[in-house]
Amino acid sequence: MRELTVDLGERSYPIYIGEGLLKEASTYFIKHGISKKSPLLIITDSRVAEYHLESFESELAEAGFQTASVIVPSGESSKSLSMLESLVTKALECGLDRKSAIVALGGGVVGDLAGFVAASYMRGIKFVQVPTTILAHDSSVGGKVAVNHPLAKNIIGAFHQPELVLYDLNTLQTLPPREVSAGLSEVVKHGLIWDAEFAAWCEENAEKLLALDAEALGYALYKGCSVKAAVVSKDERENDLRAILNLGHTIGHALEAVAGYGELLHGEAISIGMVGSARLGLRYGAPEDVYTVTKRVLAKSGLPVRLPDHFDVDKIMDAMMHDKKFSEGTMVFVVPTEIGKVEIKSDVPVQWVREIVEQLKLEVQP
């Protein structure tokens, strides 16, 4: 079992990573002050509920917790204000009070949604994250929670730190291979922006990770969470440093916006985006290996490094123009300067970006 602390002063919290933690959840809940006197509400989705809800809930109930649970449809569409209203109805019906906790059992969607319920119910109650995907290692650090608006993703939200994060590696065993790779995308990103040694480790251990080897996964999630925690500790409210976490995201978000529904997972889109950022790094004079290593580690992790032909470059550029990171004639980008180091460039010529997006269609698998 590995443990790390996200250091945020009064709002600091621990992340536990290990096998079988769900079976001991009550011990951790008690240790971190989750009340048995007030009911707690587990929010999960249909896919996760099938595998884990019953055993998780009964372990807590046996230990004396008053639990209730609600299953939302899996997928981004559950992150809505109408779902928030339904969940608050459920919280009221179950008698949740100021000392209650909301528990997110699931991936990023469940974490974002349940976290915003916890942030806003009675102006904020306790929140526990129990991530069940690799990708969720990213959202389990930093306290960003939100729902979507029809016109914009994650636009209605809060910063709400959990009391603890309980990462049971066993829950990852049922992930489909494509989601494993997509989750590794953010893991690799944390190496690329902060820790060259870890990036190299990701490349060497890609096969083990794809095979869901528990020891390798535990280490990768521990390192991924640690990098994010280091960044967030220095910049909780996203003023400055935290922007480096967006490596690959400007292009990636645009690809997600343009792609047909379900065509690209978030991790896949930012994988292609990170290759683009690496190419941009070369333009700014970064050594060649910024590009070759980035591409190789992503490809070994089972991720796409080439933009499929049918994507329309104009539409991608338009989507980026609507992105918050754009201002006249130039764009803001996170650009690698070497493996493990990035810089924010706020004057990237739009023309360079277009050329790189076009080039992305010509990338070959390493």
Residues that bind its own copies (CB under 8 A): 81-82, 84-85, 88-89, 92, 97-98, 119-124, 144, 146, 149-152, 155-159, 237-238, 324
- Residue 102 beta carbon to its own copies: minimum distance, rounded to whole angstroms: 13
Gap between the Cα atoms of 351 and 362, Å rounded: 17
- Residue 156 beta carbon to its own copies: minimum distance, rounded to whole angstroms: 5
What SS3 state is found at 306? coil
Catalytic position from the list 137, 189, 223, 249? 249
Q: Binding residue per annotation — 112?
A: yes
- Residue 152 beta carbon to its own copies: minimum distance, rounded to whole angstroms: 6
Catalytic position from the list 52, 126, 137, 144? 144
Gap between the Cα atoms of 82 and 13, Å rounded: 30
Give the number of other Cβ atoms within 10 Å of residue 267's Cβ: 30
Q: Binding residue per annotation — 109?
A: yes
The torsion of the CA quartet 308, 310, 312, 313, rounded to 10 degrees, works out to 40
Nearer to its own copies (CB atom), residue 21 or residue 104: 104
Q: Which helix (H) or strand (E) holds 25?
A: helix 25-31
123 given a catalytic annotation = yes
Residue 242 and residue 232 in contact, taking contact as beta carbons nearer than 8 Å: yes
Nearer to its own copies (CB atom), residue 242 or residue 296: 242
Q: Binding residue per annotation — 341?
A: no
- Residue 129 beta carbon to its own copies: minimum distance, rounded to whole angstroms: 17
Nearer to its own copies (CB atom), residue 260 or residue 329: 329
Residue 136 and residue 45 in contact, taking contact as beta carbons nearer than 8 Å: no
Nearer to its own copies (CB atom), residue 37 or residue 361: 37
Give the number of other Cβ atoms within 10 Å of residue 37's Cβ: 10
Beta strands in 211-361 (DSSP E): 326-327, 330-338, 341-349
149 given a catalytic annotation = no
Beta strands in 198-267 (DSSP E): none
- Residue 339 beta carbon to its own copies: minimum distance, rounded to whole angstroms: 30
Q: Which conformational region is residue 116 in: left (phi greater than 0), alpha (psi within -120 to 50 degrees), or beta? A: alpha
Q: Binding residue per annotation — 111?
A: yes
Nearer to its own copies (CB atom), residue 53 or residue 146: 146
> Where is the binding site, in residues?
74-79, 108-112, 132-133, 144, 153, 171-174, 186, 249, 266
> Where is the binding site for NAD(+), in residues?
74-79, 108-112, 132-133, 144, 153, 171-174
**Which sequence positions are flagged as catalytic?**
123, 144, 186, 228, 238, 242, 246, 249, 253, 266
